[in-house]
Structure 1
Amino acid sequence: MPGVRPRGRGALGNAVGRFEAATRLAFEDGWEPPEERVLRTEVRTEAPRSAISYNRSPDLPFDRAINPYRGCEHGCIYCFARPSHAFLNLSPGLDFETKLIARPGIGVVLERELRAKSYRVAVMALGTNTDPYQPIEAEYRVMREVLEVLRAFKHPVAITTKGTLIERDMDLLADMAAQGLCRVGVSVTTLDADLSRRMEPRVAAPKRRLQTIARLAEAGIPVRAMVSPVIPGLTDHELEPILQAAREAGATAASYISLRLPREVSGLFQEWLAEHVPDRAAKVMGRVRALHGGMDYDPAFGKRMRGEGPWADLLARRFRVAVDRLGLSVKLPAMRCDLFAVPARPGDQLTLF
């Protein structure tokens, strides 16, 4: 990308989104020497009109979620959420990790939705699209805002994150976990610190994430180790060591998801492979296509998370053997929905009984 030095970023380019009417191509015209610059993170705020988003996907274990942020500063090159930035007329490339949108005030909206007489409680998922504990959460505290509302309503919540900032909220999480209202999934993609730095540049090192698992577990919060994504030909050999390290840290459950390359993610990931691991690029993509019937990605329900064929079957068998050996659960006990209660507001009339 001429004139830009994307240091500390995952994507190498910033191709326009698929909904743009025009394509812009940066190039060096030879008149002036290229001026290198470091890309800074830009954050805009959005006044949320709704907090809860619903889905009917049959291969997901939840039907509702909250997204405190759009875009993710972590910059994971493999992130399946990158294409969502195109809906904002921004690039799924560098824009996704540098032009972010925070949603402060979402707690008020969430409270209104939970108070609706038509609302029926079920586990709320957080971190299903972009990470709620990405670095900008330290300043904007949108995730903390959401958790405070969920705790007040005694609403069950399942959190997925790579961010060590979750440790800040252990006071809320431990209180909810003690009531059967909270569990956390921590994603560990590789134990190789150098590979992690290049592939997920603004995420804590693997050793630090294992420390987060340990601290959450010590606080009584059920933790699932998520080996996600498993990248065939690059990180798949680490499946068992990651599960072993997570178990030693205190995780009680585990899961895995194979690499997903929807829409623009495929091109971005292949650029990254050519730059960082050119000797393995062909092997990785060959294995990926073997998982998806010769395609870079198959979005079909039931196939998109695991793939199919011999490689998918082998990975599934390896996972089952490892979790059985380590005593890790695949399913955690169901969280409690029966405690859900709408808290009284100042000025509300008290009930007689």
Structure 2
Amino acid sequence: MHRSVVVLLVFNVVVSTLIVLSSHHWFTVWFGLEMNTLSILPMLAYQYTPRSVESTVKYFLVQSFSAAIILNVALIQAWFYTSWSVYTPLNIFTSTVLTLALALKLGLFPCHYWFPDVIQGLGFLQGLILSTWQKVAPYILLGYIVSSLNGFVFVLVSVLSVVVGAWGGLNQTQFRKILAFSSISHIGWIGSVMFYSVSVSLVMFVVYIILNSGIFLLGHELGLSSLSSLGRLVYLNSTSGFCLILGVLSLGGLPPLMGFLTKFLALECLISNGVFIISGILVVGSLISLFFYLRIAFNSILILFPQHSLVMFVWRSVNFYEVNLSVVSILLGILLSISIFGLVCFPFLVSFI
């Protein structure tokens, strides 16, 4: 694919998100979502392998189905209330259907099955786009209509996403699938808090993008495919291994890293609203997901991986100490620095609430 075509597609993806951000009409919101989906498809199939094409087709079908549901909800709203405004109150039926449609776009339970399989079939950079930027437009739409949604259904879907994301990542050995289930769990945290405070959920969403971007870029730079590829990482490249350990622990929410501060803000918001049972379930789900984060950190410091000792010969052929100051490496350093020094950023985050 020519570089100018890639630039044009990236420009369309950004513009389509801005259309959803600035529009209050259901048709323009649907148009922005469809433009976003159609622009990202050639970028997902950039490598043009059978596995990437399969993941691209799956992503297209899922996003088209959810966008069709959103358009039908908009038609029902226009039929009953003669208004195309996003801020028009939703009834029980349209609220429930729209919640499931946005759950399908965001990869929330019970519509999360497509997300890990699609992420596994793509590269790290494409997976980074799906896990971060492609969730911005549905999140914006969710923020517009959160006051009109069925609170019980929305919070239930979000809380179960945290539990399912934590439980699903326990038995995974592929690095990208672990990050996919981690994304499901984090979006569940953000959705659970959004119903009670949009500002706190916005801070959590921004921090989630920063943490996830750092881990995906680090996986891309090191070529991490599975947990066995983490063997001898610290021994051959101590800086990258140390950054990976701190990054995944920050994603898991260990204090005093950045991920812990966002979950602390979320629990403070939920407890102040008297939601004690949901807070307990979220904490349990976070502790379950912390198990596979610790497994990544533990495998990263092994000199010899127990099941795949031959991986040491693969690492010998890679020059890890070569200094390459590219845009990706500079961005990676900035993102990992922010994710590690969480206490320094805490006053800055609280100022947005």
| TM-score tier after normalising by the smaller chain length | under 0.3
Structure 2 length normalisation: TM-score?
0.27
Identify the structure with the greater helix proportion. Answer: 2
Identify the structure with the greater strand proportion. Answer: 1
Structure 1 length normalisation: TM-score?
0.27
